[in-house]
Amino acid sequence: MRVNKLLHTRMRVSDMDQTITFYTDILGLEVLERKTSPRGSHLAFLAVPNSEELIELCSFPASGPVTVQEDLVHLAFEVDNLDDTIRALNDKQIKITDGPTRTSSGSRFIFIDAPDGYEIELIERPPGTAIV
């Protein structure tokens, strides 16, 4: 058996509207669909520019509060210019939690926190660099 491709990554969130606002207003993602599952979970599917994979947000208050363990999981997004990104984040009063840091390949990155404490890595890669 072999899978064909990654379709989406699901993240449970406490406040669907707050989380959607973060991903759309701060990172520029697009909501493709919102619905309620047969179990009663509130779902939202977000499109990432230049990517086929989606992010699925899930809110299911009956399962209790969302607790994200530090350094367990993060999403990484490529940006064109890290300095411009930092200025835009500062303008929106989004705190940079780590960085900027430069890797041995010449990539630069920072981290910010999404609602519920999910880490978001924003990476500027030199042309032709496939991995951070």
H-run or E-run covering 126: none
Q: Which of 33, 78, 121, 124 is catalytic?
A: 121
In sequence order, the 6+-apart residues with CB closer than 8 A to the CB of 60 are: 12, 39, 40, 41, 42
Cross-strand bridge partners of residue 44: 34, 57
Known catalytic residue: 121?
A: yes
Structure token pair of residue 55: 């992010």
- Taking the C-alpha atoms of residue 30 and residue 89, their distance in angstroms, rounded to an integer, is 18
71 strand-pairing partners? none
Residues carrying an active site annotation: 121
